[in-house]
Amino acid sequence: MSMFDGLRFRNVSSPIHRIDPRAKFIYVCALFVAAVLFNQLIPLLILLLIQIPLVVMAKVVREWLRLIRGASFFAAIIFIMNVISLYFYGGYPSLASIIEHALAMTVRFIVLVESFSIFFLTTSPDMFGLSLEQIGVPYEFCFAFTTAIRFVPVLAEEAQTIIDAQRSRGLELEGGNIMRRIRNYIPILIPLIVNAIRRSLELAEAMESRAWGASKKRTNLYVLKMGSRDYCLIIVSILMVAASVYVWLFIKIPSITQILWP
């Protein structure tokens, strides 16, 4: 679970938390485009490093590091797979350049993960739902989306209680072949699903008794308004994409191997 903590909203007050979710989303997309555009180590490292001040500003360093640690397992797999495949099929001149390229792919993965992490760590599900609503997504979908996110921790806690209850009745989850292991999860999944359905029915009743959907046109207590800071971030994002495209088209990026051993 600890890895997913890096994707769960932390309610602290910081300049990054106050940025409009739409602006943040555009920034994440820009970062995404830039990261996919390059496959050299140097620009990807730059993309990785420019996010660190943001993380520090958002006061989520600990959660962010935990996510990176969780992602490092996948990062290691990506690195190894790249080294192996490049060694056999890549036609790279030296081992150093193979390693550099594999490292670049790994850094790209981390950049993608961490940019999403910053977004979800600093944007509350409610804000996210609100911004979806204000870009025109129907309210029912926004509501379903935010509710789903909000109930994840509740379900996780419930699953733990059910596991405890069934283990107290002699259920052993470890051991046995794969079929047996899958069968072992039936006593956990059935109560979990039944309770989730029951809860959603209760939630629907509670919402209807509070007049959910009574008016066709909903208004919100909070209305997202873009401030100068938000426009700034959007402009920076656009500039970043433009600069990346320019560099990608017209400038030959040297590799570290070439710099070290020209």
Q: Which residues bind another protein (CB under 8 A)?
A: 2, 158, 161-162, 164-172, 186-187, 190-191, 194-195, 198
Minimum gap (Å) between residue 242 Cβ and another protein: 44
Judged by beta carbon, residue 143 or residue 185, the one nearer another protein is 185
- CB-hemisphere CA count at 13 Å for 136? 0
Minimum gap (Å) between residue 63 Cβ and another protein: 13
Judged by beta carbon, residue 172 or residue 208, the one nearer another protein is 172
Judged by beta carbon, residue 69 or residue 198, the one nearer another protein is 198
Cα 84 from chain centre: 28
What is the rounded CA–CA span in Å between residue 199 and residue 120?
Answer: 26
Minimum gap (Å) between residue 201 Cβ and another protein: 13
Minimum gap (Å) between residue 152 Cβ and another protein: 15
Q: Token digits for 162?
A: 């059910």
Residue 3 contacts residue 64 (beta carbons within 8 Å): no
Judged by beta carbon, residue 168 or residue 228, the one nearer another protein is 168
Burial class (CB in 10 A: 0-12, 13-18, 19+), 130: buried
What is the rounded CA–CA span in Å between residue 243 and residue 247?
Answer: 6
